[in-house]
Structure 1
Amino acid sequence: MPDQFVHSQRTSDPNSHPMIIVVGENPLARAVCDYLGAISVPDSLMSAHRFSGADVVVVAGYEANFAQRQRMDPQARAHRIHDRAFRTVYDAAACGVERIIVLSSAMMYGTTLHTTRQLPASRPDHLSWYDDSSPAAPPLTGFASDVALFEESFAQAVAQLPTGIARPAVTVLRAAAIVGGEVDTLVSRHFEAPRLLVIRGVERRWQLCHVEDLASAVRECVVNRVDGVVTVGAVRLENGQWVPDEQDSDVVAARAGTRVIAMSESAAFAMAQQLHRVGILPAPSSDLSFAVFPWVVFPRRLLELGWRPRYSSLECIDVLAQATKGRVGVGGRRFGGRDAAAAGAAGAAVAALATAAVWKQARAHR
């Protein structure tokens, strides 16, 4: 249910709600806009006055639109990302917007496989996480690099605002793997393969974030005027303490109604690299890291403000399984309906080809 959170703050009524504008027609922007009951402004509207009257502008630096990304020329895509960031900042500043909230991704941190940040000592496995204060370390190529480019361009635009123009306050929400609405991501594509790919010897821990929980985090940041970077993801209570809601691949696969297929790291990445080289996969093998290695966040600042997610990671898997029902990614391509020509994510392609190899070997032994 939308919160109907949006009214005008620029009135004499001190109890009125802030006016929120969500910019963009991408899946993530639409989902957040609908939940908040906010005003939608398209990216294509070329007007310096498009944010007039707004107190808060929300922009999806991470658009959760894998299909659109793969159709765009890399140079054209980079130019579009840079232009979106600068136009958003300059138009918001020109209209006197008080705050800009950037919807980003925890992919900005890279994967957590080799980090030293640990869960509380009560956890015997001492698995790692990221939180709001962790340094960003995104890969230089692939899906996550687009997110990094938007954040970098956005920061440059804010720093380069002309003297005399008030700088809006900035909040950056870096979310765990997003589900819900019509989002289309490399993680959701991973679940379209016949089997869920895992790397031998690597404990893949899954944490997800429903778009409604991301939208409620936006609301929390608006109400409490939260500045800086904030992480968002599913959490649970464990021994009276909040911890990231992580699930292992076997549990996730069972919940999604599929099974895992294990490959060595070298074989999986070599296959993904080869698929990219011959043009089957539009994204480089670096994207596979986010499908097979963990990237887990702890939303410390939001929890301290009293924010609580509505969806657990397993409930997010239910949403994801329903959304991908009837879609099959084979050889890096999605078959079914109008999506037959769309290339899938690296993980889906590798898992599909690995599954095919297993079936072929099984037939050969009969």
Structure 2
Amino acid sequence: MSSPDPQVRAARNPSDPTPPDPDGGQDSVPAEETPAVAAAPARESSPPARGPVVAVTGAAAGVGAQLTERLAASEQIKQVVAIDERRGECARAQWHVLDVRDPAIAEKLRGVDVVVHLALDLDLETDAAARTAYNVRGTQTVLTAAAAAGVHRVVLCTSAMVYGALSDNELPLSEDAELRATAEATGVGDLLEIERLARRAPRAHPGLNVTVVRPAILVGGTDTALTRYFESPRLLVVAGSRPAWQFCHVDDLCSALEYAVVEKVDGELAVGCDGWLEQEEVEELSGIRRMELPSTVALGAAARLHRIGLTPSPAGDLAYTMYPWVVSVSRLHDAGWRPQWTNEEVLAELLDEVAGRRTVAGRRLGRKDATAAGAAGATVALLGTAALVRRARKARRRL
């Protein structure tokens, strides 16, 4: 769920400007008294700004930057307050530079109506403990600060991965389906904890509405284990698995988040392209051939390589390429929202983005490594590496 992109750590700026005046700072024009014989022309005054004041965390990069630009240009939004650990490029937003875990964020949210919390770190290379500390503590702080500041709605963004990738999943899953994911895939444990915080927050803070948006495989400047799957010279297919592919373009995620901001929808929402692609369709559209392996070989190798630090992706990531986790987007559809992208179009964009990259089991290869691996296929090369590692260990034990 890229997700939302990892945030760059930066020093806080204690001299941040205060939040915008919730009334928009508009000066009223008093009616003028004029003689009955010659009425003076009425002075034109600009209409008052409409819509809510919206704060976006993680606003300097990735999904946060795109949403900030979109909301700042919208006539439905009065003002955008942008929060991040560095200043972004949107000149129309009011910027506050600080870490979302800082309780001082509550002061920056005074006068804000809606908070969209996108400051998440889902980077494959980040230390897992540090990632969890940032994601969970940050969400806790934002929810508590929003309630203290009188914010009436917080929009959180997780991922459809929280439903879990399981062989008995329905196609598509209802948005009300049980969250059956485990913490075995990259960042999913953090997302599940964020989901729990979202459900508890309205009970802990009466009057606070929490909306959760769960995108399918996010594409558009993102880097995740699932986008890296398409950087391999062969698509790994586990024998007996039944994958189904549903994508979500960042543009469509931002439009869905805007729907949540202006209260066209609320509750727990899935977002993505309509329908899905079967594995055979993905292979035909991508032109990448498959490599099929028994599940014991594929899962065992993935687990061992991650354990010894050769790849950033745990074995749990592989389940999301084995079993379906396609979601219905009925709540957004009922509100009038429609995706602007199809699965075929998003896959084509993803392939353009990853062109020239080579990845094996989630680890990007340098140019020299990619050339060496390409002769026999990167997956075969990596499995061969695993065998060499095992032999080396056995040799050391015999010494």
Output the TM-score relative to the length of structure 2.
0.70
How many equivalent residue pairs? Answer: 311
CA contact (8 A) 2:164 2:181 kept: yes
Match of 1:42 among 60, 73, 84: 84
Q: Which amino acid aligns with 2:154?
A: I
Q: Where does residue 52 of structure 2 map in the other structure?
A: 18
After superposition, the Cα gap between the structure-2 partners of 1:246 and 1:9, relative to the gap in structure 1 and judged at 3 Å, is farther
Bigger radius of gyration among the two = 2
Q: Which amino acid aligns with 1:354?
A: V
Q: Where does residue 196 of structure 2 map in the other structure?
A: 152
Q: Where does residue 174 of structure 2 map in the other structure?
A: 131
Q: Where does residue 330 of structure 2 map in the other structure?
A: 300
Gapped runs of 5+ residues in structure 2? 1-19, 27-46, 73-79, 86-97, 370-376, 385-399
Corresponding position: 1:290 with 2:320:
yes
CA contact (8 A) 1:192 1:328 kept: yes
Q: Where does residue 66 of structure 1 map in the other structure?
A: 123
Provide the C-alpha distance between the structure 1 equivalents of 2:383 and 2:134, rounded to a whole number of angstroms.
Answer: 40
Q: Deviations over 1:190-246 (max 9, x none)?
A: 1111111112232311110011111111122233353320111111xxxxxxxxx21
Question: Matched residue of 1:311: which SS?
Answer: coil
Q: Deviations over 1:68-107 (max 9, x none)?
A: xx322x3332222221011111221222212111111001
Match of 2:378 among 331, 336, 352: 352
Match of 2:212 among 158, 172, 175: 172
After superposition, the Cα gap between the structure-2 partners of 1:209 and 1:332, relative to the gap in structure 1 and judged at 3 Å, is closer
Higher relative contact order (CA 8 A, sep 6+): 1
Provide the C-alpha distance between the structure 2 equivalents of 1:282 and 1:192, rounded to a whole number of angstroms.
Answer: 15
- 1:147-296 equivalences under 5 Å are 147-161=191-205, 167-180=207-220, 182-235=221-274, 245-296=275-326
CA offset at residue 160 of structure 1? 3.6
CA contact (8 A) 1:230 1:302 kept: yes
CA offset at residue 145 of structure 1? 1.4
After superposition, the Cα gap between the structure-2 partners of 1:8 and 1:272, relative to the gap in structure 1 and judged at 3 Å, is farther
CA contact (8 A) 1:101 1:170 kept: yes
More strand by share: 1
Give percent identity, aligned residues only.
Answer: 30
Provide the C-alpha distance between the structure 2 equivalents of 1:79 and 1:228, rounded to a whole number of angstroms.
Answer: 26
CA contact (8 A) 2:201 2:210 kept: no
CA offset at residue 323 of structure 1? 1.3
Q: Deviations over 1:239-271 (max 9, x none)?
A: xxxxxx211123223323422221222221111
Gapped runs of 5+ residues in structure 1? 1-6, 118-127, 236-244, 341-350, 359-366
Q: Deviations over 1:300-321 (max 9, x none)?
A: 1111111100000111111111
Q: Which amino acid aligns with 1:139?
A: T
